[in-house]
């Protein structure tokens, strides 16, 4: 294997400064998710458990544009005579390209642009390549952040690339070892996940592989049984799942779902491969029999297909995430649980590991055509020919033997919370974790440095913006002690309150935040608004958000104006929202603020402004968001009523009108 550091230049934009506001966890973490009565008893296990939204201690990455200026990105290239793999160490370790030299073709969907959009746990996400999702339901918190990288030498002299990170929500360490020895025709990725806690913990892992989509792309996996998503009517509410046999789930109107292009709406289905299957696999193939396959060891048993659908909204999403006409893709995924609304478990101090192998699939064209089950059996035999089960086991054994070898010097540094956690454990006499991995301590220029000083008895300093958040239960006692000291700063009391609220102790957090807000702390007032919004009390949230904005005075951060506008609109105070928009300085009129202003303006009949808003190319539309579409439907109804010389009523809104494509982000 040859490992080369290089630069990859793409048109696009990277996320800017992180949002300083805390985004609290959803009040309910175990979701009640529907099923249609077809589940087997085992399908109920872990269903909805631990799937509520969580972001802290990480901040949102919600500041970016749709620029197409050239962006230079560090890349690491693994290469032998057969394959060339290009990885992005500063963007979550994304496997951006896997090029098969023997066949002269790219195996992945290689996006021609870096188009960041609002689909991740921390907002920022981009399509293309292979992503490695660990920790919590969704596109992982390091999607647009760096991982630690180093080169490792195995006992037999083989060199391989390691990427790893400490994930602070679940307090797990995950490690990716990329093996491409000389002569190998597939890329092997050995994944090792370690629970650093003395108690069992939720375990989430999904490998998302983007592959090009054509009208004849077809998907296969061993099991004919799938859990399919029920018909979606509101993207904000998951409709749940049902069990059925491939290839025609009942929600798809008779479409053969193994051909994703034929599915009208955005959806997903999960192949329920047996946990005793020695080497589960998935194939995405074109009608000429060529495509990509991946195969793994257990416990990575489940496989998934996600598509955007062939309706206008889904096609627009593919263009929105890429260049128009160049963004058609699907995702074939692999996970540790039946669906992404199921959660597995990792035991105390336990390690879960598996190896996943990616390569070119080639078969006679008639192998992938015809009745799905017959074609599946032919594809299965071809997968076994390309990569026999015994070879999968042998590759896994070799990878596992090298998984705890120490690495060389760091090629890239990742998030420093792992180093901080090691310092905390040392300060409190607790044991270490993953000793074969280097987690350097934060340096004095780091956003985490105030926490290093706090471990040594220092006080968190007051600053214009809060320091990085620290909300794990292990920090609560130390934060309480800091907040109780005579020299306690407002920053220390604020951080303690945020940690209390994040750990289901909101009643204790509220008086601390209220006292800080009364003393003029804008961030405390905004946090009170966020907690009120979490309780769905938008009247109180609007009051707190507008109070926070007054205290901040458009001097600290754009998020205060955005929150105030959102709160007023959600509370139905459209006149106040419009007045606030009108008073904002130009540098506070962000796209998020404009979207809220458009919602207020349409209610007030200010349709000229609304029409202006429709001409903006928004960067941060949330996956499946209907706000902009709803504004357009109401604006059209108001225009029609005015043309007919009558008063507008809500009953005039007709959501069956053809929505302009550039405003259509619907998923169903």
**Which of 15-29, 238-252, 487-501, 578-592 has the least mean pLDDT?**
238-252
How many whole angstroms separate alpha carbon 667 and alpha carbon 282?
25
Ordered DSSP codes for 366-411? GGSSSSHHHHHHHHHHHHHHHS-HHHHHHHHHHHHHHTTSPP-SEE
Judge whether 498 and 22 are in contact, CB under 8 Å: yes
Cβ atoms 216, 286 nearer than 8 A? yes
Locate 567 and state its tokens.
């709160």
Give the lowest-confidence range in 50-59, 227-236, 641-650: 227-236
- Which tokens hold the place of 350? 């336990």
**pLDDT, position 236:** 59
Contact between 269 and 241 under an 8 Å Cβ cutoff? The reply is: no
- Report if residue 271 sits inside a domain: yes
- Which residue(s) pair with 61 in the sheet? 123
Instruction: Please tell me the total count of domains within the chain.
Output: 2
Contacts of 655 (CB under 8 A, 6+ apart): 629, 633
Region 585-608: what's the mean pLDDT? 98
Interatomic CA distance for residues 523 and 568, integer angstroms: 18
37: its two tokens: 């009565």
Instruction: Supply the CATH number for residue 558's domain.
Output: 1.25.40
Where is the domain boundary, 402, 417, 452?
402
- Per-residue pLDDT reduced to its tens digit, 516-555: 999 999 999 999 999 999 999 999 999 999 999 999 999 9
CATH assignment at residue 270: 2.70.98.10
pLDDT of residue 652: 97
Rounded CA gap, 162 and 3, in Å? 11
> Between the CA atoms of 658, 661, 665 and 668, what dihedral angle is there, to the nearest 10 degrees?
50
Please report the pLDDT score of residue 254 as a whole number.
84
* Arithmetic mean of pLDDT over the chain: 97
Confidence category of residue 235, pLDDT binned at 50, 70, 90? low
Phi and psi of 203, rounded to 5°? -125, 125
Residues 623 and 235 sit within 8 Å (Cβ to Cβ): yes
Task: Give the relative orientation of helices 506-518 and 538-552 as an angle to the nearest 10 degrees.
Answer: 40
Asked, for residue 304, whether it belongs to a domain, the answer is yes
Q: Is 485 exposed, middle or buried (0-12, 13-18, 19+ CB in 10 A)?
A: exposed
Residue 546 phi, psi dihedral angles, 5° rounding? -70, -35
Nearest to 309 by CA among 300, 318, 320: 318
Exposure string for 44-74, b = 16+ CB within 10 A, e = fewer? eebbbbbbebbbbbbbbbbbbbbeeeeeebb
3-state helix, strand, coil in the chain (%, to 5): 30, 25, 45
Residues 107 and 240 reside in one and the same domain: yes
How confident is residue 237, by pLDDT bands cut at 50, 70 and 90?
Answer: low
Sequence-ordered list of residues with C-beta below 8 angstroms from that of 507, at least 6 positions apart, any chain = none
Residues 533, 389, single domain; the answer is: no
pLDDT tens column, 412-421: 999 999 999 9
Of the candidates 361, 386, 402, which is a domain's last residue? 402
* Any domain includes 131: yes
Instruction: Count Cβ atoms within 10 A of the Cβ of residue 430 and give its class: 0-12 exposed, 13-18 middle, 19 or more buried.
Output: middle
User: What is the Cα–Cα distance from 521 to 523, expressed in whole angstroms?
Assistant: 6
Alpha carbons 336 and 149: distance in angstroms, whole number: 25
- Segment 11-20 shows an average pLDDT of 98
Burial of 582 (0-12, 13-18, 19+ CB in 10 A): exposed
Which pLDDT belongs to residue 234?
A: 58
Instruction: Please report, for residues 228, 323, 400, 426, the alpha-carbon distance to residue 148 in angstroms, rounded to integers and kept in the order given.
Output: 36, 31, 19, 22
The pLDDT tens digits for 427-445 are: 999 999 999 999 999 999 9
Q: Is the domain of 43 the same as that of 175? A: yes
Domain boundary among 402, 424, 455: 402
As a whole number, mean pLDDT of residues 557-575 equals 98
pLDDT band, residue 232 (cuts 50/70/90) = low
Shared domain check, 265 and 392: yes
CB-CB contact of 513 with 544 (8 Å): no
The DSSP H or E segment spanning 522 is helix 522-534
> Of the candidates 187, 16, 22, 171, which has an alpha carbon nearest to the alpha carbon of residue 95?
187
537 with 389, same domain: the answer is no
pLDDT band at 253 (very low <50, low <70, confident <90, very high): confident
Preceding peptide of 247 cis, ω within 30°: yes
Structure tokens, 233: 């009517």
- The percent of residues above 90 in pLDDT, for the chain, comes to 97
Question: What tokens does 584 get?
Answer: 């904002």
**Distance between CA atoms of 82 and 185, rounded to whole angstroms?**
6
Task: Supply the pLDDT for residue 540.
Answer: 99
Same domain, 376 and 525: no
Can you name the residues that pair with 293 across neighbouring β-strands?
283, 359
The stretch 137-145 carries a mean pLDDT of 97
pLDDT number for residue 231 = 77
Q: Which conformational region is residue 447 in: left (phi greater than 0), alpha (psi within -120 to 50 degrees), or beta?
A: alpha
254 in any annotated domain: yes
Evaluate whether residue 37 is within a structural domain: yes
pLDDT at 83 over 90: yes
Domain of residue 338 covers: 28-49+74-402
φ, ψ at 646 (rounded to 5°): -135, 165
Helices and strands in the chain, H and E counts: 15, 25
Distance CA(52)–CA(61), nearest Å, equals: 19
Looking at the structure, do residues 97 and 245 belong to the same domain, yes or no?
yes
Q: Is the torsion defined by CA of 645, 647, 652, 657 positive or negative?
A: positive
Residue 478 lies in a domain: no
- Is the per-residue pLDDT at 668 higher than 90? no
177 lies in some domain: yes
Whether the Cβ atoms of residue 271 and residue 256 lie closer than 8 Å to each other = no
Query: What is the distance between the alpha carbons of residues 419 and 417, in angstroms, rounded to a whole number?
Result: 5
> Do the Cβ atoms of 361 and 285 come closer than 8 Å?
yes
Closest by CA position to 268, among listed 233, 241, 293: 241
For residue 233, what pLDDT band results from cuts at 50, 70 and 90?
low
Query: Are 33 and 161 contained in the same domain?
Result: yes
SS3 per residue for 318-343? HHHCCCCCCCCEEEEEEECCCCCCEC
């Amino acid at each position: 294997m040859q490992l080369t550091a290089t630069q990859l230049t793409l048109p696009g934009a990277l996320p800017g400064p992180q949002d300083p506001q805390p985004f609290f966890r959803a009040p309910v973490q175990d979701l009640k998710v529907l099923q249609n009565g077809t589940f087997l008893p085992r399908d109920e296990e872990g269903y909805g458990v631990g799937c509520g939204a969580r972001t802290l201690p990480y901040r949102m990455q919600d500041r970016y544009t749709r620029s197409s200026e050239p962006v230079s990105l560090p890349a690491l290239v693994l290469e032998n005579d057969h394959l060339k793999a290009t990885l992005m160490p500063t963007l979550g370790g994304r496997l951006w390209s896997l090029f098969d030299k023997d066949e002269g073709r790219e195996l992945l969907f290689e996006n021609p642009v870096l188009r960041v959009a609002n689909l991740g746990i921390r907002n920022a996400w981009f399509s293309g390549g292979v992503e490695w999702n660990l920790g919590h339901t969704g596109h992982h918190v390091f999607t647009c952040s760096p991982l630690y990288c180093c080169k490792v030498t195995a006992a037999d002299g083989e060199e391989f690339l390691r990427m790893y990170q400490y994930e602070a929500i679940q307090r797990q360490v995950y490690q990716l070892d990329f093996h491409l020895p000389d002569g190998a025709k597939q890329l092997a990725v050995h994944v090792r996940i370690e629970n650093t806690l003395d108690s069992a913990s939720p375990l989430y892992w999904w490998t998302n592989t983007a592959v090009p989509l054509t009208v004849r792309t077809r998907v296969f996996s061993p099991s004919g049984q799938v859990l399919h998503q029920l018909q979606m009517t509101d993207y904000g509410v998951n409709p749940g799942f049902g069990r059925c046999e491939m290839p025609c789930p009942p929600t798809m109107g008779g479409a053969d779902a193994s051909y994703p292009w034929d599915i009208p709406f955005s959806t997903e289905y999960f192949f329920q491969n047996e946990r005793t299957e020695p080497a589960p696999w998935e194939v995405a193939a074109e009608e000429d029999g060529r495509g990509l396959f991946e195969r793994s060891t257990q416990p990575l048993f489940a496989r998934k297909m996600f598509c955007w659908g062939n309706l206008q909204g889904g096609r627009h999403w593919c263009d929105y995430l890429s260049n128009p006409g160049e963004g058609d893709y699907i995702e074939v995924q692999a996970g540790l649980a039946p669906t992404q609304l199921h959660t597995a478990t990792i035991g105390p101090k336990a390690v879960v590991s598996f190896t996943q192998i990616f390569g070119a699939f080639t078969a006679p064209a008639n192998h992938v055509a015809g009745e799905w089950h017959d074609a599946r059996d032919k594809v299965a035999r071809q997968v076994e020919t390309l990569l026999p089960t015994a070879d999968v086991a042998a590759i896994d054994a070799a990878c596992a033997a090298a998984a705890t070898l120490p690495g060389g010097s760091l090629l890239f540094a990742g998030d420093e919370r792992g180093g901080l956690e090691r310092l905390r454990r040392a300060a409190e006499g607790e044991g270490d974790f993953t000793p074969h991995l280097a987690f350097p301590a934060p340096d004095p220029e780091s956003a985490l440095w105030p926490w290093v000083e706090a471990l040594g008895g220092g006080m968190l300093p007051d600053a214009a913006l809060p320091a990085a958040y620290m909300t794990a239960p292990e920090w609560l006692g130390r934060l309480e002690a800091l907040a109780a000291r005579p020299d306690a700063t407002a920053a220390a009391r604020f951080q303690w309150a945020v940690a209390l609220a994040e750990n289901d102790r909101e009643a204790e957090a509220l008086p601390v935040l209220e006292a800080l807000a009364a003393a003029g702390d804008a961030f405390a007032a905004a946090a009170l608004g966020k907690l009120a919004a979490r309780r769905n009390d938008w009247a109180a949230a609007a009051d707190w958000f507008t109070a926070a904005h007054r205290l901040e005075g458009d001097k600290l951060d754009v998020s205060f104006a955005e929150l105030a506008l959102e709160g007023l609109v959600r509370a139905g105070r459209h006149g106040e929202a419009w007045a606030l928009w009108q008073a904002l300085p130009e540098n506070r009129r962000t796209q998020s603020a404009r979207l809220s202003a458009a919602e207020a303006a349409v209610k007030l009949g200010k349709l000229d402004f609304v029409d202006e808003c429709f001409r903006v190319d928004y960067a941060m539309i949330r996956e499946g968001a209907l706000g902009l579409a709803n504004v357009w439907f109401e604006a059209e109804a108001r225009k029609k009523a005015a043309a007919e010389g009558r008063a507008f009523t809500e009953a005039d809104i007709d959501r069956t009108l053809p929505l302009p494509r550039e405003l259509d982000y619907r998923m169903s």
